[in-house]
């Protein structure tokens, strides 16, 4: 596998950055996780727009144009002969001194890893996933806006550890008000009486690209949608539930906190949305 770093493709074992890079020292940087399907990089422009906004939010000057980054992503996929898989696009603050100030940093690093992806087992798409709510809370938006996809994912990692220690692959995270924000790595949707419901970003969730794709699929199918505050009771009594994310795509959830969701099987609206989403991903984006 070849890894792209600032214009050069390195063999995997030779792909290195400085130990003084603030991306390593302090998690000071941003990233995007992107899918490629049959040679089509899914919604690449939307990912790059979000990357630029994350950079502006943390006062990180990108020395590359959007077109240059887009071309670098395509170059990485071609170099690895990748037609379907996962792309991790990373921008670090660059090398600096042993102190928090980014003013000592220079030469941001643009890193692109284009590789195969390990998905949820197929049985979860056909039979559904069981999850729990964990004690680790989502970061308060006043502390770190959820729209910033920063390299500091420790909050989500701790929640993932909570879930795995309890024997689950995924979990819901609450915000400071006790409402549900998102999962450790995914957004989530409920279905109640035929209406699709998902929390707004103000609840502490990321406006995921896959989330947006599912919303578009719902509009195509004529399914009503509400963005509203969701608490644990709303989750427990919902008719259907599913998770969305770059790696996950759209995964049905059949149980939360030992409460069965609906009839304990992936629901009809969930399955319709999954079908439409999987059809659309292969024609929405940049071809390599």
Any idea which residues carry the catalytic annotation?
A: 149
DSSP string computed for 115-134: E---PPPHHHHHH-EEEEE-
Reading phi first (left if > 0) and then psi (alpha if -120 to 50, else beta), residue 97 is in beta
Query: Going edge to edge, which strands form the sheet with 8-11?
Result: 8-11, 2-5, 109-115, 85-92, 29-37, 40-42, 285-287
Q: How far is CA 24 from CA 7, 75, 90, 196, 258, in A?
A: 20, 25, 12, 39, 39
- The answer to whether the beta carbons of residues 223 and 239 sit under 8 Å apart is no
Contact residues for 253 (Cβ-Cβ < 8 A; gap 6+): 128, 129, 130, 131, 188, 241, 242, 243, 261
Measured over the CA atoms of residue 14, residue 15, residue 21 and residue 23, the dihedral's sign is negative
Phi (first) and psi of residue 44, to 5 degrees: -60, -40
91 forms bridges with which residues in the sheet?
30, 110
């Amino acid at each position: 596998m070849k890894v792209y770093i600032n214009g050069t493709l390195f063999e995997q074992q030779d792909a290195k950055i400085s130990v003084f890079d603030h991306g390593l020292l302090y998690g000071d940087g941003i990233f995007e996780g992107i899918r490629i399907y049959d040679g089509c990089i899914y919604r690449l422009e939307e990912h790059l727009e979000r990357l630029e906004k994350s950079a502006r939010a943390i006062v990180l000057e990108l020395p590359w144009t959007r077109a240059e980054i887009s071309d670098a992503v395509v170059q990485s996929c071609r170099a690895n002969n990748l037609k379907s898989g996962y792309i991790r696009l990373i921008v670090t603050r660059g090398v600096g001194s042993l102190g928090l100030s980014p003013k000592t940093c220079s030469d941001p690093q643009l890193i692109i890893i284009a590789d195969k992806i390990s998905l949820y087992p197929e049985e979860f798409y056909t039979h559904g996933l069981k999850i729990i709510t964990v004690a680790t809370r989502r970061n308060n938006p006043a502390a770190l806006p959820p729209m910033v996809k920063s390299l500091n994912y420790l909050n989500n990692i701790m929640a993932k550890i909570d879930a795995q220690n309890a024997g689950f692959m995924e979990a819901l995270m609450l915000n400071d008000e006790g409402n549900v924000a998102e999962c450790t790595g995914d957004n989530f949707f409920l279905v109640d009486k035929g209406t699709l419901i998902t929390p707004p970003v103000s609840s502490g969730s990321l406006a995921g690209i896959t989330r947006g794709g599912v919303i578009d699929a719902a509009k195509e199918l004529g399914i009503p949608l509400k963005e509203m505050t969701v608490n644990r009771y709303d989750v427990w009594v919902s008719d259907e539930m599913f998770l969305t994310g770059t790696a996950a795509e759209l995964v049905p959830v059949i149980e939360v906190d030992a409460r069965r969701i609906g009839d304990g099987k992936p629901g009809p609206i969930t399955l319709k949305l999954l079908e439409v989403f999987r059809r659309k991903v292969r024609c929405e984006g940049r071809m390599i």
